[in-house]
Each structure stands twice: as C-alpha cells, then as structure tokens.
Amino acid sequence: MIVAERKDIDEILQLLAPYKRVLVLGCGSCVTVCLTGGEKQAEELATLLNLAAKQKNLPLKVEFDCITRQCDREFIANLKGDLAGYDAVLSIACGVGVGFMSEQFPKVAILPGLNTTFYGANTAPGEWKEYCHGCGECVLAWTGGICPIARCSKSLINGTCGGTNDGKCEVKQEMDCAWYLIYKRLQELGRLNELSTFRPARNWSKDRSRGVRRLSHAELAQEPEQEEAHS
Ligand code: SF4
Ligand code: SF4
C-alpha cells in the first residue's frame, strides 16, 4: 500500500492561511489502512484545526468528509456539488489523490495534508515498512524477494558496496545491509549460484527519471468526453 504521514499542524495552518471555509477530505483506501488519511483521521484533523483556529483567533471553519478513493474518477465524480461553498480542500489522500483531484477540479484549491512516503507493508501493530520503490523493472525473482532499490541506501543492483559492516549499512548503521540480506536469503534457499549469473545493464528508463509513466489497457479505453475534467 501507499504509506503517508500527516503534516505538522502548524504547516497545515500555514497552507490554509488564505482560506476561511475548508473541507478536510479523507480517502478510504491505503491511507485509511495506515491510519493517517481515513474518515476518523479527517474528523480528528478538522477538530484539531478548528481548535487551533479558535486559539489563534483565525477566521477558519473546517468541516470533514471522506470518499472511497481520491485516485479514481468513479469515486470523485459526484464531489463537484459537495465542494461548492468551500474555499479549499485539504486532501488527506496520498500525493496521487491530491494530484488527481487537482487535475479534475482545476478551479478548486486542493492542498496536501499528508506527506506521502513509500510503498510499504504493515509489519507489526502500528508499524509500516518500505518494500518497493516502484522502479518499473522488478528484480525480486533473483534477489530472494528483497528489493535492492528500496532497501539499499544506494539502490545498488549488483551486490553490496564496500561499506557494509557486520551486515549493517554504512549509510544508516541501524539498518541491515540490503545485499547482506539478499545473500543470506539466497544462501538459505540454496540459490547463491544465481548471484553469478550475468545480467545485462538495467533499463533505468522504466524508473521515474523520464517523467510521468502510464499504464494502458486498450480494451478498457473510454470515449474522449468521459476524460474531461470537472470545473
Ligand atoms: S525491484 Fe523495483 S518493482 Fe521490484 S520491489 Fe524493487 S522497486 Fe519495486
Ligand atoms: S552497505 Fe549495503 S545497504 Fe548500505 S549502501 Fe552499501 S550495499 Fe547498500
């Protein structure tokens, strides 16, 4: 899932400074699961902001709502009327939701209430950990399921750098070296020989360095008028 953290209240108040009526809009998907952007958090944030506004004597009134997904036209299609009367929307979806909402509602100020951090898994109660960086060319088949792009500080894909020390990363010493973990995993699986296999240079153009990436399923293509933005 996409993992995100809420911005600091003072930063949010700065973002909202030009506005008087604000809707905090939650998203019922990833950010609900990681307990930062769901309906409950939207209500809590609206309450916090109203309290802060009262304490600081600011002319700010905040309400809240939550929809199933802010990154899906199907779920934002009916929002247009609901946004009337607000000067701004503080989205507590991930950056995808904020970006998509901004595109679909170009005349409305859509502001980010979260900092989107990584693609991660829930590894313990209240804890999420990064597992993937969305690189576009997955190598997990030959790294024992451990991602060297996301989990090595230098995103090395040809083995450890010279700085690994007792299985720890030289950049972040409390962190296991990703390539040490990969070596151990392949050793356990009896597949260490795979590390000697020659692999052609990686195609980094599938990563984000060349701008926006897209996925298209031609069989699901929509008529052009259904692609139009809401105003
Ligand atoms: S190799 Fe790429 S796609 Fe695979 S887990 Fe790592 S970042 Fe994600
Ligand atoms: S010590 Fe390991 S995890 Fe850290 S940068 Fe070097 S190879 Fe990557």
Answer whether 27's CB lies under 8 Å from 37's CB.
yes
What confidence tens digit (pLDDT) does each residue in 192-220 have?
999 999 998 888 888 887 788 888 998 88
Where exactly are the structural domains of the chain? 2-118, 133-198
Classified by CATH at the fold level, domain 2-118 comes out as Rossmann fold (3.40.50)
Nearest to 21 by CA among 83, 98, 114: 83
Q: Does 164 contact ligand 2 (Cβ within 6 A)?
A: yes
DSSP secondary structure letters along 56-94: TT---EEEEEEES-TT-HHHHTTHHHHHTT-SEEEE-S-
Residue 8, classified by CB atoms within 10 Å of its CB into exposed (0-12), middle (13-18) or buried (19+), is: exposed
Quick one: angle between helices 9-16 and 39-55, nearest 10? 70
Task: Give residue 24's identity as a one-letter amino acid code.
Answer: V
CA nearest ligand 2 atom 7, residue? 160
Rounded Cα distance between 201 and 219, Å, is 33
The alpha-carbon radius of gyration of the chain (Å, integer) is 22
Rounded Cα distance between 2 and 70, Å, is 13
Separation of CA 124 and ligand 1 centre (Å): 22
Nearest to 72 by CA among 27, 116, 106, 117: 27
Q: How would you write the pLDDT of the chain (231 residues) with one tens digit per residue?
A: 999 999 999 999 999 999 999 999 999 999 999 999 999 999 999 999 999 999 999 999 999 999 999 999 999 988 878 898 999 999 999 999 999 999 999 999 999 999 999 999 999 999 999 999 999 999 999 999 999 999 999 999 999 999 999 999 999 999 999 999 999 999 999 999 999 999 988 888 888 877 888 889 988 886 655 555 554
Nearest to 149 by CA among 130, 168, 121: 130
| Ligand 2 atom closest to Cα of residue 151 | 3
Q: Does 169 contact ligand 2 (Cβ within 6 A)?
A: yes
Three-state DSSP at 110 gives strand
Rounded Cα distance between 63 and 45, Å, is 9
pLDDT score recorded for residue 67: 96
